[in-house]
Amino acid sequence: MLDAALAEAERIGIPECVAVVDAGGHLLAFGRTDGARTASISIALTKAISAATRKRATADEGGGDLLATIRSALAAERVTGIGGGIPLVVDDQVVGGVGVSSGTIDEDTIVARAGVAALV
């Protein structure tokens, strides 16, 4: 999944940070393409954790306030309403999440979807 997401980021020419977590929000894999913002590392992880533990896409969380997301990431609350986090679902069970950050919300979501597509 990580490789597929990073390949999609390269394909569309957008530097990205990609985090993959298990259902409990624990980091399984992380990657960052050249040029991705270092500040986006914690945001990608927050998006993945939020999607996994809240069992829904971060875009469905509502809000989307970047400053609130940064505060949440720094405070280890790990919940966001900014798109780019998608839960990983197998047999109707959430088994983890993928989070992407450093591009626009649409770019992040495209890259996250590529990672999710590699799971199935």
CB 17 within 8 A of CB 37: yes
Rg (CA), the chain: 12
Buried b (16+ CB within 10 A) or exposed e, 78-116: bbbbbbbbbbbeeeeebebbbbbbbbebebbbbbbbbbb
The class (CATH top level) of 2-119 is alpha beta
pLDDT at position 55 is 95
pLDDT at position 71 is 66
pLDDT at position 10 is 97
Say if residue 28's pLDDT is above 90.
yes
- Digit-coded pLDDT (tens) for 86-109: 999 999 999 999 999 999 999 999
Say if residue 17's pLDDT is above 90.
yes
Say if residue 26's pLDDT is above 90.
yes
Name the residue ranges covered by the structural domains of the chain. Answer: 2-119
Say if residue 33's pLDDT is above 90.
yes
CB 81 within 8 A of CB 61: yes
Q: How many CA atoms lie less than 13 Å away from 85 in the CB half-sphere? A: 34
pLDDT at position 75 is 62
- Digit-coded pLDDT (tens) for 36-85: 999 999 999 999 999 999 999 998 876 666 676 666 666 667 788 889 99
